[in-house]
Each structure stands twice: as structure tokens, then as C-alpha cells.
Structure 1
Amino acid sequence: MFTGIIEELGVVTKLEREQKNLHLTIKANFTSQLKIDQSVAHNGVCLTVVNIDGEEYTVTAIDETLSKTNLGEIKKGDIINLERGMQMGARLDGHIVQGHVDQTALCTAVTEKKGSWEFSFEYDPDMQNITIEKGSITINGVSLTVVNSKKNSFSVAIIPYTFEHTNFKNIKKGTRVNLEFDVIGKYVKRLTELQ
């Protein structure tokens, strides 16, 4: 379980293919605090730590994860958003995030708004995920509030702190991002489908 509040940015230092799996080695300041078998969200994707070596740790993404997220497009040197699992009893500053990406979206526009930015995204409506105005969405692991919600598109407003402390500063028109839709909304939608 995560909150969508990014702890730090990691740097991809090594990518190694093994059959259909991809081992990602990440350099992060909190590596010394990690342990093997711990969950860490990488651009919103929950992956298990399988190796630790100094300031770097390794996680493995399987074929299904690579096909449903933007991790298959990651390159050595890329900056990714990192968050360790939520501690029980800690504040929930973002919203409930599972680290299970529902689908990807493409950035369709980045508009500077005199001190903030508006990022617009479009996603495949065939998967029947929904957003609602002022509802929660997780983009590359970042907990955000939806604005301009439409059938298969939406926007988010990004403050300068979020822009500087996440990989939003690297997102441009055409960039593919990971989306995790609000878990409560997903359960409500499923319940109404069963009636």
C-alpha cells in the first residue's frame, strides 16, 4: 500500500533482460534503508527488491508488468519516481494507492499557467476506467486531483514543488505514463455493474 507521495527520484543505472523479465537496477538515497523482499513503487508500479549493492538495488518486472506499464520503455539514465510502502499509523497525505497500474496514457498537452502547469492525458476508453472531477488519480506514482474529466481524457494541475521533485519535469507531449485509477471508484463502478 502506498500514498502517492513521492519520496525521491531514482536513477536507472542498469537494465538486464532475462527471458521475458527485465531487471532494473536503481540508485537511490534510501537504498541503505531497504531490505530484500521489500516493496517499492517505481513510477507507481509496486516491485519487490531482489538485490542490494551499496547505493543501488535491483527489482524485477515480469512480462505482464512490462506490457501494462511504461517500464518497458525505461532506459539507462532515466529518472523514476520512488515511494516505499506506507507505514501503519502514518499520515495518509495522498490517497490509497495499491501500486497496481491499470493502464497507460499519453500526454496530449503541457500548458504553463504562470506559476503552475496543466498536464493533459488521454487513455484507451476500451478498458472502461473512469475519472471524476476533483477525484484522485495516480500518474507515475504521484497522487493528484483530476480536473477537466472527460470520457477518456483528463488534466491535472501541477504545483512547482511537484514539478521539481517528481519526473513530471520530464513529461512532454507524447510521453507515456502509468495510471492507477482511484481504488474506491473502481469498487463502486464494479458494484454498480453487478446490479
Structure 2
Amino acid sequence: MDFGPFSFLAERKIEVSGKLLETVQLEKGHLIYQPPNRITPIFEIASGAVKIGSYTPDGEEVCYDILRPGDYFGNFQYLNGQFSEFAKSLTPVELRVYDVDFFKQLVTNTPTLAGWFFKVLVSRWCRVEERLFAIRSLTPQEKVRKILPYFQVQILDASGKRFSLREVVTLQDIADLTGLTRQTVSKVMREDIGRMTKSPNGILN
């Protein structure tokens, strides 16, 4: 079990009220929260995948990130109400749901958890910075090739099925995360598949 609030409590056999921490299972396509809802619990993904994003004025989804087991999401209430996103399950998911105040108190008052939480935050910031750098500096082909390995990781959903994130994300999701259009992403991926087919060893150079 990866280190975090849940494992910390379990290892010390600390019992917590269901109002402060509970585990839920949701089906694929479940809208966990959406605007204008600004008050949410803190969610930890135990299994499955979740998409977070927002909506255009026309109501179209814009993907911010694709989250996998071990990731946390929700409104930590540090931004003075500047929170407007949706979260949707891409597969059957198992989530650990923490009361916001309980989560923040636990992390703040436990040095080992505080250090862990800083590491989690820095890792997410680094991921965002790398994607912004790619959007500003790489060619369309390089952008797609750089992000695809993230989606090729094998994970388990809440039903026990193993899958790669590439199976559940759309071309539009990849486009949103790379600053490209869906058509450009599709073209780049078709061209890369064509080159792999022609390569004698099946490896893309």
C-alpha cells in the first residue's frame, strides 16, 4: 500500500468516523462533481481513472488532467472560491473520500504526512510545468509522443480489470493536454502508426 493518509491511519489502527473518511465505488461515467459546486470532499483514487476539467461557454468539456491510482483531487479550499471544475470517472473507480477539514488537519499536524503531501504537490506541479513547456516549445509530433507514455501505464479499475489509460482517453483529451486540435492529434498518431508498420523492427524512431 502506498504511503498516504489512508495507510497512515490503517498502520496505526486508528478508527475514523464515516463522516470523516469513507470508501465508495462508482461506475464508469459517473459525474463526481461539476460547476457550480465549489465545496467538495478530498478524493483519493484507490483504483480506476478519473478525468478532471472544466467547460467552455458552449458547454464542451476541456480536460485538465487524467488521474490514476494514488492521485488526489477536489477543492482543498485554499483559493478563496476560485474553483470551477468537473470530475468524472473514466472507468469503474474506488475512491477514498476525506472530509476537507479532517484531511488538512491530519496532514498539517503529522510531520511525515506533511512531507508526503509536499512531495505530492511538487510532483503535480512538475507534471503541469512539463506539459506547458511542451505546448510552448515542441512540434505537434513531439508533443503527442511526449505525452503518450503517460497513458500507456497499466492500472486496475474497481472491477479488477487491467487496462491502459490510452483505452479510456479520447483524442480530444490528448488534444486538450497538448494544446493541439483533435484532428492534428489524429493525424500525428496515424503517421506514427504508419512509420512503425514500415519499420523492420516495428520501433518508432
Question: Shorter-chain-normalised TM-score: which range?
Answer: under 0.3
From the two aligned structures, give the one with the greater helix fraction.
2
* The structure with more radius of gyration: 2
TM-score by length of 2: 0.24
TM-score by length of 1: 0.25
From the two aligned structures, give the one with the greater strand fraction.
1
